[in-house]
Amino acid sequence: MKIVVIGSSNTDLIVRIPRIPKPGETILGGRFMTAAGGKGANQAIAASRAGGEVSFIACLGNDDLGDEALRGFESDGLDTSHIFRETSPPSGVALIFVGDDGENSIAVAGGANMSLTPEKIRKSRQVIEASDILVVQLEIPLDSVMEAAGTASARGIPVLLNPAPALELPNVLLAQLSFLTPNESEAELLTGIPVTNSESARKAAADLRERGVKTVIVTMGRRGAFVSSAEMEDMVPGFEVEAADTTAAGDVFNGALSVAVSERRPLPEAVRFACAAAALSVTKEGAQPSVPLRNEIESFLQAH
């Protein structure tokens, strides 16, 4: 099944520290590492390693970080023929603090990601229209997300939007979505309903479905995900694992979900597959370095 992912690519600069600093506070003793990241790239890699045939549409700077990112995509088997290069601005960078409890705090300099314009999306129209599912996020211009979603939905191609980083979204876009996958805070921003448990997730999901989304999946970390669709309204339980780094767990969930959905698995099974992939990812450090392979996901599911 052919999956098209449109989105961001960043280089992650990561500092491991005992805890996330408070405003104005400096914490010493951290360990530094770099890793490939960006929500779009993470989801494309996750979909590929979970068994998908993935084309990635993105924009990189014409710099060393962009060259390194491109080599990584090619080594993971992505179709990179629709990746654009920009002489200015530079490739995107994310600054990430990771505490000993696995929680993180992230700031992103989008750089070339914001040059992924609707015009570039139109240049990639052919590959979008040949896909089985389109996956997008919000680290690129919203106009480009809307251009891509409109192109896919007009052909009856399912659109999966991970609304991160959180933005208020127009109803015209929501009505084009087959799947919307907010976490608790993103669901609250979109609906005004604080999401703390399955009942509040149900209310938020119902609000979003009334605005046109076909299936809403509210991701809730280790608790799992609340699924609201025409076929079901229920929690799909998650997995208890020892977290080393939660960076990219949501991206891994979405990439794996796109594969399971494109394989036409029943929705509860598809979400459980995605939860397993996300659980595996938090046991390792880094964004793309933590993304599991399909055989690892299947072995994990068999053991649980």
Residues 6+ apart with CB under 8 A from 138: 39, 145, 161, 162, 163, 164, 165, 166, 167
What burial class does residue 260 get, using C-beta atoms within 10 Å of its C-beta: 0-12 exposed, 13-18 middle, 19+ buried?
Answer: buried
**Domain parsing of the chain, residue ranges:** 2-303
**Which one of 12, 76, 79, 251 is the catalytic residue?**
251
pLDDT the model gives residue 287: 77
Q: Would you state the pLDDT for residue 246?
A: 78
Structure token pair of residue 261: 């959905």
pLDDT of residue 28: 86
Q: Among residues of the chain, what percentage have pLDDT more than 90?
A: 83
d(CA 214, CA 199): 19
224 residue type, one letter: G
Q: Which neighbouring-strand residues pair with 106?
A: 96
The alpha helices in the chain, defined as continuous H runs, are: 39-49, 64-75, 118-123, 125-129, 142-154, 171-174, 184-191, 198-210, 249-262, 267-281, 294-303
CATH T-level topology, domain 2-303: UDP-N-acetylmuramoyl-L-alanine:D-glutamate ligase (3.40.1190)
What is the C-alpha end-to-end distance of the chain, expressed in Å?
27
Q: State the Cα–Cα distance between residues 140 and 92, nearest whole angstrom.
A: 11
pLDDT in tens, 50-88: 999 999 999 999 999 999 999 999 999 999 999 999 988
Q: Share the mean pLDDT of the chain.
A: 94
Identify the DSSP state of 281.
Answer: H
pLDDT at 51: 97
Task: Say whether 251 is catalytic.
Answer: yes
Q: Is the pLDDT of residue 2 over 90?
A: yes
Please report the DSSP string for 28-71 in residue order.
Answer: ---EEEEEEE-HHHHHHHHHHHTT-EEEEEEEEESSHHHHHHHH
3-state helix, strand, coil in the chain (%, to 5): 40, 25, 35
pLDDT at 285 over 90: no
3-state secondary structure of 12: strand
